[in-house]
């Protein structure tokens, strides 16, 4: 094994492995230190297995309404354990895919726990001391966090995080999910499909609080229709593990509630993995929120040390980390990469209905006192959505009044996480709403709803 490389990556998640591949493409010798499986949280205990389970949940819900499509089925039964094992196989395939890509690009994978040392070095537990002649890139990611002050302390059995939820052999009969961001809403969708009685608790006034309010309303309405109990504005008072489950106490609009459940899933956010990796000794400083301090080029306060992905701050999204990995690799190789526009990072929530967005919400536009017009088009008026029986939700485009720029775009409904990219590309290239409408959209497609929302933002919608 080599001990000297041009660049070393500490962590092989979506930021680290993508950055490593880009660095190798640019002719650099690359080493990646990873204590677990390549692919990081996203591939192994995050994005990929969760989406596999969500696909299973979607099929379950589709089969329950098969009769409406002219299909007769027998009694529908579910087995979360089988779906879980399938999700593990998918994750394993993706992880092995990363290893294959490392071999293809002659990237050396060093398995072990790494610790940053001064002078662009990494010490690997039980192994060698590695040196980078050009740079070290810290890509150690994040982990679920709990709220021990409220009794919400992970014990990995009754009070669980998304990590443990992905390995359950059976769905719980009842579950309280604390936190209704993307993770909370996705697991609410999954466990509801597999027969659990789900209660979703969010301290803020609405679920999916970072999304546009209208999108949150679409999901809350759909969840309640499917039997998920949704409490927004819930103030958690206490929670405790008991021999046969857990009890959580909270208030909603001042009214006290007590709920007994089999499990509590804590989905209240993630904390960066900065402890025990030698940052202080190497001269790497943290922000007040505990993330690694970086500049616009992703350089830390230590010479020759970069940080990317979750550990470098929000948004904590795999695709944001991957782009940072590419930018860091190109900068280290002496190129002049295009700076990252963090306002153009799309958000995506894969529950049913899906939610996706880019840019400002209408609430943010009001807060910033911008002059804007809103275009909306409901999927209930879209021909393709009707053929699919997927008519919940809408496309919403926020148009700057003076120049016609896309201030924000939001989709809640079928295939929202795919539809958003037309608007992401448009916004990245500074297309106006008028130019979106100039593109002829095939009929019948869900994408026509994007064109119609653009028309509505200009005051001339056709189909409503």
Q: Could you give the residue numbers annotated as active site?
A: 443
Strand partners, 234: 252
Distances (CA, A) of 328 to 133, 147, 371: 15, 34, 36
Degrees to nearest 5, angle at CA 207 with 205 and 208: 120
Identify each DSSP E strand in 401-461 by its residue range: 406-413
pLDDT band at 1 (very low <50, low <70, confident <90, very high): confident
Structure tokens at 168: 């359950």
Separation CA 264–CA 196 (nearest Å): 12
Structure tokens at 38: 């390549």
pLDDT band at 2 (very low <50, low <70, confident <90, very high): confident
User: pLDDT digit string (tens) for 159-174?
Assistant: 999 999 999 999 999 9
Domains 4-143+271-342 and 353-457 share a fold: no
Q: With both helix axes pointing from N to C terminus, report the angle between 80-104 and 14-25 in degrees, rounded to the nearest 10.
A: 20
Residue 396 and residue 407 in contact, taking contact as beta carbons nearer than 8 Å: no
Domain locations in the chain as residue ranges: 4-143+271-342, 148-268, 353-457
pLDDT band at 127 (very low <50, low <70, confident <90, very high): confident
Q: What are phi and psi of 398, to 5 degrees?
A: -105, 115
pLDDT band at 118 (very low <50, low <70, confident <90, very high): very high
Separation CA 212–CA 439 (nearest Å): 26
pTM of the model: 0.96
Mean pLDDT within 245-270: 97
Fold of 353-457: Enolase-like; domain 1 (3.30.390)
Percent above pLDDT 70 for the chain: 100
Residue 434 and residue 237 in contact, taking contact as beta carbons nearer than 8 Å: no
Separation CA 212–CA 220 (nearest Å): 13
What DSSP letter does each residue of 72-84 carry, written as one string? Answer: --------HHHHH
Separation CA 311–CA 287 (nearest Å): 11
Q: What are phi and psi of 283, to 5 degrees?
A: 85, 20
User: pLDDT digit string (tens) for 178-199?
Assistant: 999 999 999 999 999 999 999 9
Q: How many CB atoms lie within 10 A of CB 298?
A: 25
Residue 274 and residue 292 in contact, taking contact as beta carbons nearer than 8 Å: yes
Closest listed residue to residue 11, CA positions, set 100, 164, 143, 167: 143
The torsion defined by the Cα of 80, 86, 91 and 96, in degrees rounded to 10, comes to 160
Residue 166 and residue 191 in contact, taking contact as beta carbons nearer than 8 Å: no
Report whether CATH 3.50.50.60 matches the domain 148-268. Answer: yes
Residue 251 and residue 234 in contact, taking contact as beta carbons nearer than 8 Å: yes
Q: How many CB atoms lie within 10 A of CB 430?
A: 10
344 SS3 class: helix
Percent above pLDDT 90 for the chain: 98
Mean pLDDT within 78-105: 98
Return all residues near 334 (Cβ < 8 A) that are at least 6 apart.
none
Q: How far apart are the first and last CA of the chain?
A: 65
Q: Which homologous superfamily is 4-143+271-342 in?
A: FAD/NAD(P)-binding domain (3.50.50.60)
pLDDT on residue 53: 98
Separation CA 81–CA 85 (nearest Å): 6
pLDDT on residue 106: 98
Residue 177 C-beta-side C-alpha neighbours within 13 Å: 29
Structure tokens at 35: 């204590």
pLDDT band at 62 (very low <50, low <70, confident <90, very high): very high
User: pLDDT digit string (tens) for 217-250?
Assistant: 999 999 999 999 999 999 999 999 999 999 999 9
Q: How many helices (H) and strands (E) does the chain have?
A: 14, 22
**Parallel, antiparallel or unpaired: strands 394-400 and 174-178:** unpaired
**pLDDT of 126 above 90:** no
pLDDT on residue 283: 97
User: pLDDT digit string (tens) for 321-353?
Assistant: 999 999 999 999 999 999 999 999 999 999 999
* Residue 370, burial from CB neighbour count under 10 angstroms (0-12, 13-18, 19+): middle
352 SS3 class: coil
Q: How many CB atoms lie within 10 A of CB 403?
A: 10
3-state per-residue secondary structure call for 40-57: HHHHHHCHHHHHHHHHHH
Separation CA 129–CA 1 (nearest Å): 11
């Amino acid at each position: 094994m080599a001990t000297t490389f041009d660049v070393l990556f500490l962590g092989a998640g979506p930021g680290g492995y993508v950055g490593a591949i880009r660095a190798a493409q640019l002719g650099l010798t690359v080493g990646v230190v990873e204590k677990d499986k390549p692919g990081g949280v996203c591939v192994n205990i995050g994005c990929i297995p969760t989406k596999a389970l969500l696909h299973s949940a979607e099929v379950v819900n589709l089969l329950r309404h098969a009769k409406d499509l002219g299909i007769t089925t027998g009694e529908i039964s579910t087995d979360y354990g089988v779906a879980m094992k399938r999700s593990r196989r998918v994750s394993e395939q993706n992880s092995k895919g990363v290893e294959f890509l490392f071999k293809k690009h002659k990237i050396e994978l060093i398995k072990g726990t790494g610790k940053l040392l001064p002078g662009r070095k990494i010490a690997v537990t039980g192994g060698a001391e590695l040196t980078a002649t050009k740079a070290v890139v810290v890509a150690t990611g994040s982990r679920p966090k709990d709220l021990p002050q409220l009794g919400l302390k992970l014990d990995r059995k009754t009070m669980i995080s998304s990590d443990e939820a992905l390995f359950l052999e059976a769905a719980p009969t009842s579950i309280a999910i604390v936190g209704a961001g993307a993770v909370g809403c996705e697991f609410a969708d999954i466990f509801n499909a597999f027969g659990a009685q789900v209660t979703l608790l969010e301290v803020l006034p609405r679920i999916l609080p970072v999304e546009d309010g209208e999108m949150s309303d679409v999901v809350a309405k759909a969840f309640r229709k499917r039997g998920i109990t949704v409490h927004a504005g819930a103030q958690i008072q206490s929670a405790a593990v008991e021999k046969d489950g857990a009890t959580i106490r909270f208030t909603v609009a001042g009214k006290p509630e007590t709920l007994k459940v089999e499990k509590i899933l804590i989905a209240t956010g993630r904390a960066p993995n900065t402890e025990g990796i030698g940052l202080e000794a190497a001269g790497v400083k943290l922000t007040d929120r505990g993330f690694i301090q970086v500049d616009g080029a992703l350089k830390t306060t230590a010479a020759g040390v970069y940080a990317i992905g979750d550990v470098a701050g929000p948004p904590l999204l795999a695709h944001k980390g991957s782009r940072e990995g590419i930018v860091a690799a190109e900068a280290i190789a002496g190129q002049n990469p295009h700076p990252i526009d963090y306002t153009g990072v799309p958000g995506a929530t894969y529950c049913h209905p899906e939610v996706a967005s880019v840019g400002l919400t209408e609430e943010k536009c009001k807060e910033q006192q911008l002059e804007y017009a809103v275009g909306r088009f409901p999927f209930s008026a879209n021909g393709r959505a009707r053929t699919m029986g997927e008519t919940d939700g809408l496309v919403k485009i926020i148009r700057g009044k003076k120049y016609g720029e896309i201030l924000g775009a939001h989709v809640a409904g079928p295939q929202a996480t795919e539809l958003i990219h037309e608007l992401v590309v448009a916004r990245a290239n500074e297309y106006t709403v008028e130019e979106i409408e100039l593109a002829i959209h095939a009929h019948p497609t869900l994408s026509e709803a994007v064109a119609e929302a653009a028309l509505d933002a200009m005051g001339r919608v056709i189909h409503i």
